[in-house]
Structure 1
Amino acid sequence: MAGELTPRVGILALQGDVREHEAVLAALGARTSRVRRAEELREIDGLVLPGGESSTIDKLARAFDVREPLVARIREGLPVYGTCAGMILLADRIVDGITGQQTFGGLDATVRRNAFGRQSESFETELAVSALGDPPVRAAFIRAPAIEETGPAVTVLARVADGRAVAAEQGAILATAFHPEQTGETRFHERFLAVVRAAG
């Protein structure tokens, strides 16, 4: 729990690449637990929203009655890191969502689903992220979203070559459109764990 030297980071385990985040976080010294129920949200110091299918995660969060408690914890300041679909779920506003799709919110941004095209148009590239220093970040984009607009409290951390924002933070919230957990990149998880420890 909060205040312990080793933070416990939950990973929303309704759908998506849960194991990859568990492996990175464990390698960085964090304890992890899978979150599917509202009561499990009370046992964690931070939460990762993994990549997957944002509309499916949204539906399952409601089916498991975890959506409203999760929204409440984010509003209370729970540190959260969202990758790909997780970025969509953290956005206050989405473009090209399916009918009735909801987000958890918390990031004052407008995010477009599938901004880079279909699965077949997935790609990897190197991104300069000044907040992380050198070397550049190797980023995997898989049916990835992009940030179209941000509010004044949001700091954009990275953009692709055409200028679209693909990483941002706001307070205790961190979001990337790509999957660092799939390319051996650990610095975003390290940055997130620093936020979790500071919050504790």
Structure 2
Amino acid sequence: MPVVGVFALQGDVREHLSTLTALGAEAVPVRRPEELARCEALVLPGGESTTMAKLARTFELLDPIRVRVRSGMPTFGTCAGMILLADRILDGAAGQETIGGLDVTVRRNAFGRQVDSFEAELDLKGLDRPVHAVFIRAPWVEEVGPAVEVLAEAEGHPVAVRQGHLLATSFHPEVADDGRIHRLFLEMVRR
């Protein structure tokens, strides 16, 4: 049973912990470097990306997460988590930091403001039927590097991508009653 941490300083923490636990992982909240150290994998939840980066810096987690991601720790980012994993951001806050590692350019709030939030059924590569995707002030991917595999698109833009040990979605699979994307991540962790 893999130990999967969920970045727990801000965002959809409970939902990810619940989904991962239901799938048989040992899911633990991560607020400090010593909690990160015992994890085999990490989930960066949806939330507010600038706030999450600032809190990670304040709680001395940003650099340890960067080191672990660069050393190959499987990491799954949803919505704000996708932004945190991106190497490049468009429409970011001045001086906004990321963890990086995912060779993509992401546009923050690409689908619009909170009132523009929406839900859609998406075909996701590797899954047998569409996933119910919840987009809340969601980013989209503007550009992908050569090693990035696009798993799903919405409105002509990539919204789910994978690169080696990294998986990211623009939407919030943790709020849908469907653990298939988390299961896909756990398969990556086990490999």
Superposition RMSD in Å: 0.7
SS at match of 1:191: helix
Equivalent runs, 1:91-106 vs 2, <5 Å: 91-106=86-101
**Structure 2 unaligned regions, length at least 5:** none
What is the match of residue 23 of structure 1? 18
* Structure 1 residue 132 displacement after superposition: 1.1
What is the match of residue 3 of structure 1? none
Q: 1:146, 1:113 → 2: CA distance? A: 7
Q: 2:177, 2:50 → 1: CA distance? A: 27
Aligned residue pairs, count: 191
Q: Percent identity?
A: 60
SS at match of 2:60: coil
Deviations 1:45-87 (A, max 9, x none): 1000000000000000000111011100000000000000000
Q: 1:31, 1:183 → 2: CA distance? A: 20
1:52 to 28, 38, 47: 47
Deviations 1:7-55 (A, max 9, x none): 0100000100100001100110111111111122210010000000000
* Structure 1 residue 110 displacement after superposition: 0.1
Task: Give the TM-score of the pair, scaled to structure 2.
Answer: 0.98
1:190 to 175, 183, 190: 183
Q: 1:150, 1:71 → 2: CA distance? A: 20
2:140 to 141, 146, 171: 146
Paired letter, 1:149 = E
Ranges of 4+ aligned residues in structure 1 off by more than 6 Å: none
1:75 aligns with 2:70: yes
* Structure 1 residue 130 displacement after superposition: 2.8
Deviations 1:102-155 (A, max 9, x none): 100010000000000000110000011132122x11100000000000000000
SS at match of 2:167: strand
**Structure 1 unaligned regions, length at least 5:** 1-5
What is the match of residue 123 of structure 1? 118
2:38 to 37, 43, 55: 43
